[in-house]
DNA sequence: GAGCCCCTTCCTGTATACAGAAGGTGGGCA
DNA sequence: TGCCCACCTTCTGTATACAGGAAGGGGCTC
């Protein structure tokens, strides 16, 4: 039970913020994204209620919404826990995101976007490079997320945009979960600028390819080795038993 | 407030069913799908609680989940209402479903499915034709839905499968909402068999095209005329004012 | 010494009470 | 007669109480 997290929230509360379930949802979401709440962490309703200074009613609502967003697992009569997606689901999430974000990027390129918006995206990409240069991984991730989040918000097709928002969150969680410990950063130099160039040039298929390549590289950076399962156990000990 | 609906639920309750929020979610979902609950219908918590014989706590949870599924609209301090998607959103929902279901079909065809599963799908398609033949539109819709629902469940990529389940529900709602009144049915002869043939033949791109064509035809059957907006009002009365 | 069972404790499921916001309706006023 | 304001009804937001289920620990038995 990360005390630093509790402390941070308590500080925010004392600052006079109005607390209700959207606030709690956002706080938990951010805490999970930044790994202050690692997968598997228990989220008891009473504890959360005390932290945020509200009763279980509000917390329950927030938890229900977080479960709908695939951030936590809620099982009957059991404590809610931060989700810990399997390797399998990680691969599937990436595949889904390639499909959806590729389409969104293609739509965006095809229909052309406002120059101001493009400038903003390029500023974020530049900020990401700079953050990476000075070794500030937290800021780098924030800028990278901002780009993809902005893409989702700009999507001409809002249904796809909402789906993309969900997928960006889910991939971020699994990236944090499965990142190779030896890797300092998941920064892929040039990927974002390439995407923005295709977007600026109105090259729909180029934008789609840029997204697909970017996400494939990202996935390849993860440690998605063979999953530990009972089947593996049996295979490993085959012939070792006395039978 | 459709009394027939209430009566049906009350009967189900007396039958001894165990009521909790998943049950309520399912009942409301089905009622919306079958248009027993038309878009815009008010869903007050107390009324629902009385109908299902539970307190507001349970109903609230169900409503929160229904809102996450895009079945109802929940605004602060306001009664929950059955959603009434705009024409714009309808088009976007269809586009999203074409993308996702096309991919699922392609995956399924590419990886090949069990013969038994294919048989089951073909039985549903046959049952749909027969239901259409005898003019039983309710049964026809049920069989058509079963095919697409099965596709979603079979998706090798479960993330995409879950997204597809959501999209099938949402398209069904808007089909019911925007169907031309003159049309007795939205049956498209041969569409489902064509899809199944591509699936059986392992023709991934053929399956994708079959899905895309099917959904495009379906969308074309709807009455998605120009939407009524204030802009139209101004245009209509341009030059009529005294100024 | 190891395994099993019971008990305790924690946590969720559900119902209910009270406060406050929203919207409709009626009366009063110009 | 038309408009506006105040009241009242209805409904949601939130907190709290009580009941039941799950998990963990300690003690007992083999």
pLDDT digits (tens, 9 = 90+) for B220-243: 999 887 644 444 444 444 444 444
The pLDDT of residue A17 = 58
List chain A residues with CB under 8 Å of B102. none
Confirm or reject CATH 1.20.120.530 for domain A87-220, answering yes or no: yes
Closest residue in B to A94 (Cα) is: B159
For chain A, the straight-line distance linking the first and the last C-alpha, in angstroms and rounded, comes to 45
CATH dotted code for B3-84+227-236: 1.10.10.10
Closest nt to residue A76, judged CA to C1': C12
User: Does the C-beta of B78 come within 7 A of strand C?
Assistant: yes
Give the integer Cα–Cα distance in Å for B211 and B164: 13
Distance, in Å, from the CA atom of B221 to the CA atom of B171, rounded to the nearest integer, reads 13
- Nearest-CA neighbor of A76 among B21, B17, B29, B25? B21
Torsion-angle region of B77 (φ positive above 0: left; ψ -120 to 50: alpha; else: beta): left
pLDDT given at position A18? 67
Residue A64 near chain B (CB below 8 Å):
yes
Where are the domains positioned within chain A? Answer: 3-84+227-236, 87-220
d(CA B31, CA A67): 24
Cβ contacts of B85 on chain A, cutoff 8 Å: none
**pLDDT value of residue B115:** 81
Which residues from A are below 8 Å from B69, CB to CB? Answer: 68
The pLDDT score that the predictor gives to residue A174 is: 95
**Pair of tokens at residue A90:** 């990680």
Identify any residues that bridge with B42 across adjacent strands, giving them in sequence order: B81
Does residue A235 belong to the interface with chain B, where contact is any CB pair within 8 Å?
no
User: Which residues 83-112 of B are in CB contact (within 8 Å) with A?
Assistant: 89, 92-93, 95-96, 99-100, 103
Q: Which nucleotides of C are covered by protein (CB under 7 A)?
A: 10-17, 20-23
Residues B148-165, buried b or exposed e (16+ Cβ, 10 A)?
Answer: beebbebbebebbbbbbb
Q: What is the pLDDT of residue A95?
A: 98
For the stretch A77-122, pLDDT in tens is: 999 999 999 999 999 999 999 999 999 999 999 987 888 899 999 9
Residues in chain A: 243
List, for chain B, all residue ranges whose pLDDT scores fall below the cut of 70.
1-18, 226-243
**Cα separation of A26 and A7, whole Å?**
16
Same fold, A3-84+227-236 and A87-220: no
Question: Which stretches of chain A drop beneath a pLDDT of 50?
Answer: 1-4, 7-9, 12-15, 227-243
């Amino acid at each position: 039970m990360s005390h630093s997290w509790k402390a941070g929230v308590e500080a925010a509360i004392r600052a006079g913020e109005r607390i209700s379930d959207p606030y709690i949802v956002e706080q938990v979401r951010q805490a999970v994204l930044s790994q202050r709440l690692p997968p598997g962490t228990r989220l008891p309703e009473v504890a959360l209620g005390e932290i945020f200074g509200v009763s279980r009613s509000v917390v329950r609502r927030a938890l229900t919404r977080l479960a709908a967003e695939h951030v936590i697992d809620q099982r009957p009569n059991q404590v809610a826990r931060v989700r810990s997606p399997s390797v399998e689901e990680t691969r599937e999430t990436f595949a889904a995101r390639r499909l959806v974000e590729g389409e969104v990027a293609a739509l965006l390129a095809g229909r052309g976007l406002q120059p101001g918006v493009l400038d903003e995206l390029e500023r974020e990409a530049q900020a990401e490079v700079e953050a990476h240069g000075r070794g500030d991984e937290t800021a780098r991730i924030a800028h990278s997320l901002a780009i993809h989040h902005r893409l989702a918000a700009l999507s001409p097709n809002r249904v796809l945009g909402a789906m993309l928002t969900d997928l960006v969150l889910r991939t971020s969680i699994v990236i944090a979960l499965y990142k190779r410990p030896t890797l300092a950063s998941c920064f892929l130099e040039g990927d974002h600028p390439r995407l923005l160039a295709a977007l600026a040039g109105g090259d729909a298929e180029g934008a789609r390819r840029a997204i697909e390549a970017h996400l494939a590289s990202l996935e390849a950076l993860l440690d998605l080795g063979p999953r530990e399962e009972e089947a593996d156990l049996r295979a490993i000990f085959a012939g070792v038993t006395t039978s």
